């Protein structure tokens, strides 16, 4: 086989792998129905908390640190992320030690983070890129946010 033919074959092989790799990456997002199916497959009791088509949100309860922690699961409007959120109650209404402590915790519990909604609720959240999501990835992330909420309870429950 000549060097020229070998080069052409190698080029075709690399090109086909690049196209295949691109196609699998772009088509590997999950939709809202698949998100619910994964949660059920993981053995979780799934509560449908928002049922409106295209805005579905589910909740699964975890027990950590003597707490019952309901974690919400929803896909972002852009379909790029799966958001895991926990409502921690009313947020502090003024800058105080609790706010500073929560900001410090963000660096310790990342990628989980604390934030305050426009409606005044203190939340914990964790975004999962909606690409190549497997049951194992979703389970690990769900356990992560529940663990981080539980281990920081002394701060956000003040």
The answer on 88 and 55 residing in a single domain is yes
Number of domains composing the chain: 2
Q: Which tens digits make up the pLDDT trace of 42-72?
A: 999 999 999 999 999 999 999 999 999 999 9
- Same domain for 43 and 69? yes
The pLDDT tens digits for 73-96 are: 999 999 999 999 999 999 888 777
110 phi-psi bin (left φ>0, alpha ψ -120 to 50, beta other): beta
pTM for this predicted structure: 0.80
Task: Assign residue 145 the CATH number of its domain.
Answer: 3.30.1460.10
- Answer yes or no: do 23 and 37 share one domain: no
CA–CA separation, 131 and 37 (whole Å): 16
> Which residues fall within 8 angstroms of residue 140, CB to CB, at 6 or more apart?
none
């Amino acid at each position: 086989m000549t060097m020229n033919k070998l080069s052409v074959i190698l080029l075709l092989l690399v090109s086909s792998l690049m196209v295949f790799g691109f196609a699998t990456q772009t088509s590997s997002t999950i939709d809202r129905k698949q998100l619910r199916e994964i949660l059920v497959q993981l053995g979780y009791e799934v509560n449908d908390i928002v049922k409106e088509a295209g805005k579905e949100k589910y909740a699964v309860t975890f027990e950590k640190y003597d707490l019952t922690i309901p974690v919400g699961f929803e896909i972002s409007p852009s379909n790029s992320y799966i958001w895991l959120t926990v409502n921690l109650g009313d947020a502090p209404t003024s800058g105080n030690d609790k706010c500073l402590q929560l900001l410090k915790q963000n660096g310790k519990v990342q990628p989980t983070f604390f934030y305050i909604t426009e409606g005044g609720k203190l939340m914990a959240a964790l975004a999962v890129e909606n690409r190549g999501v497997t049951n194992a990835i979703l389970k690990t992330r769900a356990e992560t946010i529940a663990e981080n909420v539980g281990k920081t309870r002394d701060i956000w429950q003040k």
